[in-house]
Amino acid sequence: MTNANIPLSSVDTLGELLARIAELTAKADAIKDQIKDSASLGGAKVIEGDLFKATYIESNRKVTDWKALAEEFGIPDEAVLKHTKVSAVFSVKVTSR
């Protein structure tokens, strides 16, 4: 998609890199899904290639719904805010033109 006669700016380079990363991530996720589907149906839990090994791991994750918990026990929003940590977040959003 790039024209070799036109020098790319840093933003264009960033956009191209992010697009390539997204494409590679999609391919990697598809392979991971195949491994997960196979292993969860009784297939191999460890698959070895020539250079890398993939291991299927099952685990449970717990997530607490603090908002629902506060509502259930009548904890006021002010009390929740008093114990809420706020951190500045900086990001760069890249979109195609």
pLDDT of residue 4: 60
26-76 pLDDT tens trace: 999 999 999 999 999 999 999 999 999 999 999 999 999 999 999 999 999
- Break the chain down into helix, strand, coil percent, rounded to 5: 45, 5, 50
The radius of gyration of the chain from alpha carbons, rounded to an integer in Å, stands at: 23
pLDDT of residue 74: 96
Q: Is the pLDDT of residue 25 over 80?
A: yes
- Identify the H or E element spanning 24: helix 10-40
Q: Which candidate, 12, 18, 54, places its Cα nearest to that of 36?
A: 54
Q: Is the pLDDT of residue 3 over 70?
A: no
pLDDT of residue 95: 85
Between 3 and 21, name the one with better pLDDT: 21
